[in-house]
């Protein structure tokens, strides 16, 4: 089974900061990597699909990159509404397994 | 607009069964694969099951395999998850979501399932 490992586990940052979250797959997943944002008590929201494609309606300060086993989610200038937990997810395997990373909690410094 | 509304959650004793439903609207339901994803209290996201757009195939996560069945009724625009032999560690919020470009692009608000004696 493919394991997804995010780092850091948690992160403190300030409004306006540039933030990067990393996701590593235990084996190559090409660009079958998605990023989600989840706020407390709310359903997850798709931010990035296929490693670098921005989901419609998502602000352009969010970007994704990577391929193979190493991926990053970058927020170019943190806004107050960006403080949340972020999850990566692989969708490479056949049959599907859709493994999520353990999550990265982004908190206000 | 796309809307997914889960129902059927509640409190159930260990070993019992429960069926969740997910009513879809705002898109052509029969054209999309659908999934269930769950989240235990204070924990991360766990994929539970996926069903193809036409119901022709389905797959399950290891934690529910053999105990759960995903199904759909395209005439009713509704997705289901039948869960049997429920365990305490099945407790959590269960979300349905739409599959699009190998990602989950729209999610319901979630249904809370509590397994407790």
What pLDDT digit, counting tens, does each position of A38-68 carry? 999 999 999 999 999 999 999 999 999 999 9
Copy the structure tokens of residue B84: 């049997």
pLDDT at B91 over 90: yes
Mean pLDDT of the B30-56 span: 97
* DSSP per-residue codes, chain B: --EEEEE--EEE-TT--EEEEEEEESS-GGGS-EEEEEE-TT--EEEEEEE-TTSS-EEE-TTTTTTEEEEEETTTTEEEEEE-S--GGG-EEEEEEEEETTEEEEE---EEEEE--
Mean pLDDT of the B95-113 span: 97
Query: Taking CB atoms and an 8 Å cutoff, what residues of chain A touch B95?
Result: 43-44
Residue A94 Cα distances to A90, B68, B92, B114, angstroms: 11, 20, 27, 31
Using a CB–CB cutoff of 8 Å, tell me whether A46 touches chain B: yes
> Residue A108: its pLDDT value, please?
87
Cis before A95 (ω within 30): yes
Identify which of A96, A99, A100 has the shortest CB distance to residue B59: A96
Q: Which 24-43 residues of chain A touch chain B by CB within 8 A?
A: 32, 34, 36, 38, 43
> Residue B48: its pLDDT value, please?
98
Percent of chain B with pLDDT over 90: 100
Q: Are A97 and A4 in contact (CB under 8 A)?
A: no
Q: How far separated are the first and last CA of chain B, in Å rounded?
A: 40
pLDDT at B21 over 90: yes
């Amino acid at each position: 089974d493919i394991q997804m490992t995010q780092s850091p586990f948690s992160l403190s940052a300030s409004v306006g900061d540039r933030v990067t979250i990393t996701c590593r797959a235990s084996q190559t997943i090409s660009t079958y990597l998605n990023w989600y944002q989840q706020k407390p008590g709310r359903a997850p929201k798709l931010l990035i699909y296929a490693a670098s494609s921005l989901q419609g309606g998502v602000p352009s300060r969010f970007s994704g990159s990577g391929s193979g086993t190493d991926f990053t989610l970058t927020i170019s200038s943190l806004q107050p509404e960006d403080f949340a937990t972020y999850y990566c997810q692989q969708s490479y395997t056949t049959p599907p397994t859709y493994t999520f990373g353990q999550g990265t909690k982004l908190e206000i410094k | 607009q796309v809307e997914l509304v889960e129902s059927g959650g509640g409190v159930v004793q260990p070993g019992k069964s429960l069926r969740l439903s997910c009513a879809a609207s705002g898109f052509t339901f029969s054209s999309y694969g659908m999934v269930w994803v769950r989240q235990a209290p204070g924990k991360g996201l766990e994929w539970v099951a996926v069903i193809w757009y036409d119901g022709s195939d389905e797959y399950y996560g290891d934690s529910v395999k053999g105990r759960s069945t995903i199904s759909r009724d395209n005439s009713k625009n509704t997705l289901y998850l039948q869960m049997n032999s429920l365990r305490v560690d099945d407790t959590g919020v269960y979300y349905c979501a739409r599959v699009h470009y190998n990602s989950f692009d729209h999610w319901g608000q979630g249904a809370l399932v509590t397994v407790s004696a």
